[in-house]
A and B are shown apart, each in its own frame.
Chain A
Amino acid sequence: MSAGVGQVVRVGDELPPLEIEITRTLIVAGAIASRDYQDVHHDAELARQKGSPDIFMNILTTNGLVGRYITDHFGPAAVLRRVAIRLGAPNYPGDTMVLTGTVEEVAAEGAELKGDDAAGKKVTVRVVGANGIGKHVTGTVTVSVPGGAEGVGRS
């Protein structure tokens, strides 16, 4: 999964998929790291009382994973500008979520600040995270990719 130095980002490019094992540990660690103590994200018994078959991943963790998927691909200089997600099928323990992405838009960015040569790109990626029961997340991420006029740096 590398967008090599000098590689051109084009509309329609597909990002390599990222598989995330949905463990109980990931769900709980993500909930606590995001300061979300809703019982449905750590207490299976209370989750069942509320009509859910088990604990499930909170939206902040999904948001964090989607952001990571994009910056993992575009490299250390990539900066997230916008993340918009919608949740569908919950991520329950034992499932696997596969994140996939398609480049939807590539725009010049910062030309007025850096001059045309140094201008980065603003790349918008459509992201889908599918698990065993459906689409857990759909959304779009806009990321700034600085560097050469066409290239995406990755060390």
Chain B
Amino acid sequence: MGLIDILSGKKEIIEKKWFDMIAASYPVNASSFLKNQKEQFANPVGNTIGEAVHTVIDVLIHEGTNEKANTCLDKLVKVRAVQDFAPSMAVDFLYMLKQLLKDELKNEFHTGGVYEEFLLIESRIDTMALFSFESYLKYKEKIYELKVNEFKNMAFRLLERANLTFEFKDEGPAFEKSVLERDTVK
């Protein structure tokens, strides 16, 4: 039996254990809520974790493309980027999966070819972890961009309302023509 068959047989238990490990990165009351509340609008974070867990395992077992997994990973990282995590903690859930797979497969590694197959899966998880890191940074940058935008919008509006700014208005074809002519003269 190859690695994929073994993983397919353990799919449900791996998904559950991985979900629980991610949920355990939250405070106690929160982790039980994340696990027990199944309704998607009442528990959007738990739902996002569940979707990512299911999709990543599915992609690894069925050798799907990473793109499918990346969409869900991006969603999960987007959530963790605004939660109370240090950067390493925010993206460490894929390293949890590596450890989990090692624990689950330790008795199978001696079977011919399983360990080599595992190494291939492990590097795919590493690639996903790198992708998650990029997403994390993207969303952290977005947070700072939003802060700056709010500030700039307010300041600009006030200047405009106080008649302290003057903006050229696009006055239609004639205006554009005159600009073109001016540029031609140059």
Partners in one complex: no
